[in-house]
Amino acid sequence: MLSMLLLAACVPRPQEQQEANTAQRASAVAAFGTVQQVFQHPRCQNCHIPGDAPLQFDAGIPHAMNIVRGPEGKGARGFACVSCHGEANSPASFGPKAPPGAPHWQLPPPEHKMAWIGLPPKQLCAAIKDRKFNGDRDLAALLKHVSEDKLVLWGWNPGGQRAPVPVAHTEFVARFSQWTAAGGPCPE
């Protein structure tokens, strides 16, 4: 009898559990605010575009030389992204507007554009989680992508006079992790 009373005291009541779930969801939605801030920064949205012409610089102006996405997101035939963008940022001696670089420099492929320019928070959240839209990534794969992909990491070290993502990468990953751990709830 005593063991049953002790067990009952340790098991959350339905109302307590609902309150904890509500608090976790609210905290995760607040964490998504940081995710949105990063995803809609020029370092990210210059390549995550609805059309086929990437943007450049902090102002997000159309890329010079009529550059286009191409059939795989790696540029047009005969003029691949890597024609100008190397595996790393150009040396400072090349000037402040030299082409930046990172491993596998490219846009998302045309069938998964992952465009989020101008999306309100609820739509951005839904788009990020939509596996048809995001390259068939579940929440765990998305977390790994934003944590480890060297092209994503470039946003925090863009070289030249480009502004880096204004949220520290460790903070961004912590907020992204908090959001995904709660199931990726979207703002209302």
- pLDDT, tens digit (0-9, with 9 covering 90-100), for 158-183: 999 999 999 999 999 999 999 999 99
DSSP-based three-state secondary structure for 157:
coil
What are the structure tokens assigned to 150, written together?
A: 């060297």
Q: Give the span between the Cα atoms of 34 and 170, in whole angstroms.
A: 12
Burial class (CB in 10 A: 0-12, 13-18, 19+), 50: exposed
Query: Can you give the C-alpha Rg of the chain in angstroms?
Result: 21
Report residue 185's pLDDT band, with 50, 70 and 90 as the boundaries.
very high
The residue extents of the domains of the chain are: 33-181
Q: What is the pTM of this model?
A: 0.87
Confidence category of residue 8, pLDDT binned at 50, 70, 90? low
Q: What are the structure tokens assigned to 28, written together?
A: 């995760």
